[in-house]
C-alpha cells in the first residue's frame, strides 16, 4: 500500500482539476461499443446458463461468474450515465441509465441523486450517512451502549456486508421511494419496479420459476457482493481520508480518500475500471474507459494509495476511524481504547 499527501506535492487545487479536464469528453463510439460488449454478452450468458441446466448445475454456477461480471459492467454504465459522463446527451444518459437500472434493479434517477451526495461529502465526518458505508469514530463507538455496539458490529461483519446486505439493498431497499425524492425520481422508481417485475414474470412463465431462480440467484449474490466490496475497499483502508469541516477538502478527500484498487486485467475489465477510484472521485465527468489513461498520464496520481488484490482483504478487519491517529483501526487494535469492548 502506497500513499502520499497532495498537500505535500505543491500542486495547486485548481491545477489538479484542470489537469484532468481533457479526459472528460465521452466518445460516442466507445460508449456504444461498451453497451454492446456488456449487455448483449450478458443476455447470451443467461441463455447459456439456461442451457447448461440440462448438463450440470455446477456448470451453471461457473457461468454465473462471468454473468455477474457483465452485470457489474452494466451497473458501471448506469453509474457513468448518472454522472453525465457516458454520453453528451442528457436524454441518452437518462434512457440508457434507466435501462441499465432495470437490469440491475437500481432506480436510476433516485440512485443518481444519492450517489451525487456521496461524492459531495465523501470523507467528511460531519456529513456521513448518504451513499456510504457507515463508519464510526473510536470515540463514538466507545460512547455506545452494549446493544448499539452489537448492532454496529453486526452491520460491519463481512457476511452481512457482502452477502446479506447487498441482497437487501438491491432487492428490497431500492424498491421504495426515498422521502427526499422528487416527482421524476419517484416515477423512475415505479417504472424500474414495474419493468423488472414484467421481465421476471415473463421469464418465470417461459422457463419456470425454479429455473429462473436457479439462474438469477447466483448471479445476484455474486454481482451484489462484488459491487459492495468494490465500493467498500475504495474508501475503507487504513490510510483513508476523514476530516471535519472546515479542514475537510474535496480534492484531498477525492484523491487521498479513494484508493487505486489494482486488479488483474480481466477483473478490471469486468469492473469497468472503477478500481481507479481516485481519478473518478476527483473528476466524475471522466468516462470509465478513460480513467486508466488519465491515471497513467497525470503526474499527481504517481503516489496515490495503491491496494493490491490479495492485500485488499486485510481491510475487512478495519472498522473504526481513529481521529487521533488518522487511520482506520479494528475493534481489537493494540493500544486502542475500544480493544476490549463487547
pLDDT in tens, 233-268: 999 999 999 999 999 999 999 988 999 999 999 999
d(CA 148, CA 57): 42
- 186-199 residue pLDDT tens: 999 999 999 999 99
pLDDT at site 130: 76
pLDDT at site 11: 47
Helix H or strand E segment including 327: strand 327-329
The 3-state DSSP class for residue 24 equals coil
pLDDT at site 3: 42
The 3-state DSSP class for residue 322 equals strand
d(CA 106, CA 175): 8
Identify whether the C-beta of residue 169 lies closer than 8 Å to the C-beta of residue 114.
no
pLDDT at site 1: 45
Mean pLDDT of the chain: 91
Show Cβ contacts of residue 74 under 8 Å, excluding neighbours closer than 6 positions. 38, 39, 42, 100, 103, 104
pLDDT at site 14: 58
Give the global pTM.
0.90
Residue 319: DSSP 8-state: -
Find the largest Cα–Cα distance for the chain. Answer: 63
Residue 117: DSSP 8-state: H
Helix H or strand E segment including 151: helix 146-156
pLDDT at site 341: 37
d(CA 114, CA 119): 9
Q: To 10 degrees, what angle do helices 90-104 and 183-207 make?
A: 40
Intervals of the chain under pLDDT 50: 1-11, 334-342
The 3-state DSSP class for residue 175 equals helix
Give how far Cα 143 sits from Cα of 139, 146, 149, 309, 335, Å: 6, 10, 9, 35, 17
**Do you find a cis peptide bond into 194, omega within 30 degrees of 0?**
no
Give how far Cα 245 sits from Cα of 98, 248, 250, 320, Å: 35, 5, 11, 19
The 3-state DSSP class for residue 225 equals helix
Looking at 132-234, which runs of residues are DSSP E strands? 136-137
Long-range contacts of 215-221 (CB under 8 A, 24+ apart): 215/46, 215/49, 215/50, 215/53, 215/60, 215/64, 218/60, 218/61, 218/64, 218/68, 219/49, 219/64, 219/67, 219/68, 219/71, 220/167, 220/170, 220/171, 221/163, 221/166, 221/167
pLDDT at site 88: 96
Amino acid at each position: 500500500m502506497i500513499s502520499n499527501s497532495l498537500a505535500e506535492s505543491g500542486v495547486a487545487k485548481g491545477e489538479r482539476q484542470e489537469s484532468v479536464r481533457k479526459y472528460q469528453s465521452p466518445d460516442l463510439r466507445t460508449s456504444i461499443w461498451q453497451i454492446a460488449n456488456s449487455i448483449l454478452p450478458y443476455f447470451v450468458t443467461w441463455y447459456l446458463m439456461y442451457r447448461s441446466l440440462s448438463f450440470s448445475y455446477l456448470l451453471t454456477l461457473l457461468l454465473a461468474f462471468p454473468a455477474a461480471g457483465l452485470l457489474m459492467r452494466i451497473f458501471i454504465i448506469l453509474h457513468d450515465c448518472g454522472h453525465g459522463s457516458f454520453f453528451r446527451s442528457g436524454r441518452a444518459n437518462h434512457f440508457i441509465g434507466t435501462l441499465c437500472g432495470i437490469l440491475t434493479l437500481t432506480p436510476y434517477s433516485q440512485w443518481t441523486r444519492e450517489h451525487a451526495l456521496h461524492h459531495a461529502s465523501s470523507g467528511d465526518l460531519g456529513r456521513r450517512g448518504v451513499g456510504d458505508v457507515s463508519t464510526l469514530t473510536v470515540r463514538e463507538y466507545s460512547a455506545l451502549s452494549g446493544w448499539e455496539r452489537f448492532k454496529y458490529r453486526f452491520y460491519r461483519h463481512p457476511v452481512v456486508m457482502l452477502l446479506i446486505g447487498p441482497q437487501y439493498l438491491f432487492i428490497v431497499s431500492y424498491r421504495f421511494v426515498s422521502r427526499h425524492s422528487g416527482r421524476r425520481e419517484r416515477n423512475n422508481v415505479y417504472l424500474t419496479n414495474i419493468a423488472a417485475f414484467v421481465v421476471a414474470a415473463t421469464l418465470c412463465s417461459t422457463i419456470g420459476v425454479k429455473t429462473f431462480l436457479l439462474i438469477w440467484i447466483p448471479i445476484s449474490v455474486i454481482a451484489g457482493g462484488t459491487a459492495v466490496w468494490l465500493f467498500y475497499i475504495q474508501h475503507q483502508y487504513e490510510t483513508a481520508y476523514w476530516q471535519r469541516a472546515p479542514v475537510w477538502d474535496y480534492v484531498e478527500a477525492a484523491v487521498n480518500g479513494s484508493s487505486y484498487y489494482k486488479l488483474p486485467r480481466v477483473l478490471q475489465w469486468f469492473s469497468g475500471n472503477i478500481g481507479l477510484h481516485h481519478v473518478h472521485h476527483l473528476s466524475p465527468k471522466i468516462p470509465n474507459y478513460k480513467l486508466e489513461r488519465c491515471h497513467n498520464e497525470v503526474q499527481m496520481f504517481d503516489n496515490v494509495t495503491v491496494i493490491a488484490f490479495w492485500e485488499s482483504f486485510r481491510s475487512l478487519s478495519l472498522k473504526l476511524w481513529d481521529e487521533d491517529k488518522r487511520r482506520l483501526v479494528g475493534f481489537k487494535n493494540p493500544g486502542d481504547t475500544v480493544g476490549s469492548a463487547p
